[in-house]
Amino acid sequence: MITITVTETDYFLPEDGDVAQQRFLELLKQPRQVYLSGFGFTLQPMFDELANADNAGATIDLLLDHSQSNGRAEKPKINALAKSFEKNGRSTITITTAGVNSAKPDQIWHWKGFVALGQDAEDYDCWEGSTNFSLSAWFQGNSCRVFQSPEWTNLFIKQFLAHKAWARQNQPQHQVM
């Protein structure tokens, strides 16, 4: 748990869907590093931006739900992105369940958010909300927010890495790379 005070931009979908999706994709354009946790993960422009960022030298770490990642819509896209990531050897895709610290670790991974770190220590953005990273999410009743918080960034990355390590150790059957 964390208590923070931030200035944020909040998007309420579907009304703000177009502008929220545009902002989301902008945040993936020039990062040095991205930690992204997602459930629904099918938005093709996102895949394009992640591959472009990886090819430009960024390190991309994805933590995705096992039930969605094995689905008909996601699996081919995730496998293609994994092949793209393998070329540069920096970025990773980790597939997980509710995992570490869950009383029922086989439940879904429903955490939707990311941190995009820029070139400078002061250059970072945080994204969090109910919005899946899918085409339909921007047309649904969802919300998301963009903000900056060093405390939230540090806690997000710490929890992200703990879940990633747990999934890699305990769920090799789900991994694509």
CA dihedral 42, 80, 95, 88 (to 10 degrees): -120
Residue 1 in domain: no
Residue 90 in domain: yes
Angstrom distance (rounded) from CA 125 to CA 98: 25
CB proximity list for 62: less than 8 A, separation 6 or greater: 36, 37, 38, 41, 50, 91, 92, 93, 94
What does pTM read for this prediction? 0.94
Query: 69-79 pLDDT, tens per residue?
Result: 888 989 999 99
Residue 134's pLDDT is 95
Residue 122's pLDDT is 81
Number of domains in the chain: 1
Residue 48 in domain: yes
Residue 3 in domain: no
Query: 109-123 pLDDT, tens per residue?
Result: 999 999 999 988 788
Residue 26's pLDDT is 96
Positions in the chain short of pLDDT 70: 177
> 92 - beta bridge partners?
61
